[in-house]
Amino acid sequence: MKIGFIGLGKLGLPCAEVMAEHYDVIGYDIAPRSPKNFSMASTIKEAIIDRDIIFVAIQTPHDPKYGGDKPTTHLDNMDFDYFYVQETLIQINEHVTKKQLVVLISTVLPGTTRQELIHFCPNARFIYNPYLIAMGTVAWDMVNPEMIIIGTEDGDETTDAKILIDFYKPMMQNNPRYVVGTWDEAECIKIFYNTFISAKLGIVNMIQDVAEMSGNINVDVVTNALANSTQRITGPAYMTAGMGDGGPCHPRDNIALRYMAEELELGYDLFDAIMNAREIQAENLAHKLMLYDQPICILGKAYKPGVPYTDGSSSLLVGHYVELFGGKLCYYDPNTGDLDFPDEPTTFLIGYWEDWVYELQFPDDSVVIDPWRHMNKQKNITVIHYGNTRK
């Protein structure tokens, strides 16, 4: 099977490299790329001529001010920007036939393929096939997915869906389930998968706020009880209260769903509440950091361990409020190259846990706010397990 892959950015390139371990792949991107195991085309035409399946991994961005690392709830609701995908589909359409299958993996709102995209590429068969992958673990996530989501025009599980299932099977390491639906159902599965994660984090961090404000509550006792209530409430994933949701996907998905709720006149907007909760939770942490009349250092500027990316970082959002309140602020994070560690008494916030956190030597008389409640008490510093107010 011969594969064309259009769009080789942070997510697309690792995915194409995984495919190239099993199939003949040709890639194309507007920027120079250096794939490990497949060749690059100089034009879209060259990348898709005589290819059986053409994957499209083109960004659907928001304006940078909607990134999630600063408050967004005061901004107008806004859909993703589909311009780049539309322009790419127009170019693809000039060179494809009905013998070829075009597969879009970019995140879009429910209804977008049918209403905004499909008419730009009528000359090929079309599938919407979003991935459940994350920065830093793209290649592993791709071959160990919780499920593979396949959307066709009518939800037919045979023909094109079966072709794609057969394409993926040799690559998979965990024998995932394959969920086939309409384009619209596949769009819903992807974006609500992400927003379920955001909602869970918002709720467990709400419990943390209750613990801080009410007293005599260890948030872990509460969330552990709920996390193990698997019959009707939840599973254990994302059930540790700590920092807010982050990354290039989840915050912006909620922002886009605010737009959808308004457009569909649902009469309610849970997604606005989720983003508002995320911002207030960050503001509450900033207030906590300001209590100790010291300079403030946030440990972990990236949005999660093991990656250099700061897209939608909840640490940056907390830092925004610290600076808004007049605090003196710095970041320390080897993953992002921020390596100036304070040598004077400082109030530290542990943005995320990674091995390097255990190796830090905190200046005497410092305060360490640990919203993950991992750090043990240490001599000459004050360790505060944020969310545990049990006496």
Q: Three-state SS string across 348-374, please?
A: EEECCCCHHHHCCCCCCCCEEEECCCC
For 192-385, the fitting CATH number among 3.40.50.720, 3.40.640.10, 3.30.70.380, 3.40.50.1220 is 3.40.50.720
Residues of the chain with CATH 3.40.50.720: 2-185, 192-385
**Is residue 39 classed as helix, strand or coil in its secondary structure?**
strand
What pLDDT does residue 62 have?
A: 85
- Mean pLDDT calculated for residue range 45-57: 97
Contacts of 229 (CB under 8 A, 6+ apart): none
What pLDDT does residue 170 have?
A: 97
Interatomic CA distance for residues 148 and 142, integer angstroms: 9
Could you identify the residue written with the tokens 């919407």? 128
Interatomic CA distance for residues 228 and 236, integer angstroms: 7
Could you identify the residue written with the tokens 């940078």? 64
Identify the weakest region by mean pLDDT among 214-218, 259-263, 283-287, 331-335: 259-263
pTM of the model: 0.81
Q: What is the CATH number of domain 2-185?
A: 3.40.50.720
Is the pLDDT at 40 greater than 90, yes or no? yes
Virtual CA dihedral for 369, 374, 377, 380, nearest 10 degrees? Answer: -50
| In the chain, % of residues over pLDDT 90 | 77
Virtual CA dihedral for 177, 183, 185, 189, nearest 10 degrees? Answer: 60
* 162-214: pLDDT as tens digits: 999 999 999 999 999 999 999 999 999 999 999 889 888 988 998 899 898 88
* 54-95: pLDDT as tens digits: 999 999 988 888 888 999 888 998 999 999 999 999 999 999
Question: Shortest CA distance to 332 belongs to which of 295, 286, 293?
Answer: 295
- Cα–Cα distances in angstroms (integers) from residue 127 to residues 16, 184, 219, in the given order: 17, 11, 44
Question: Shortest CA distance to 299 belongs to which of 345, 342, 248?
Answer: 342
The tokens describing 354, both together, are 């990674």
| In the chain, % of residues over pLDDT 70 | 100
* 331-382: pLDDT as tens digits: 999 999 999 999 999 999 999 999 999 999 999 999 999 999 999 999 999 9
The tokens describing 251, both together, are 């915050």
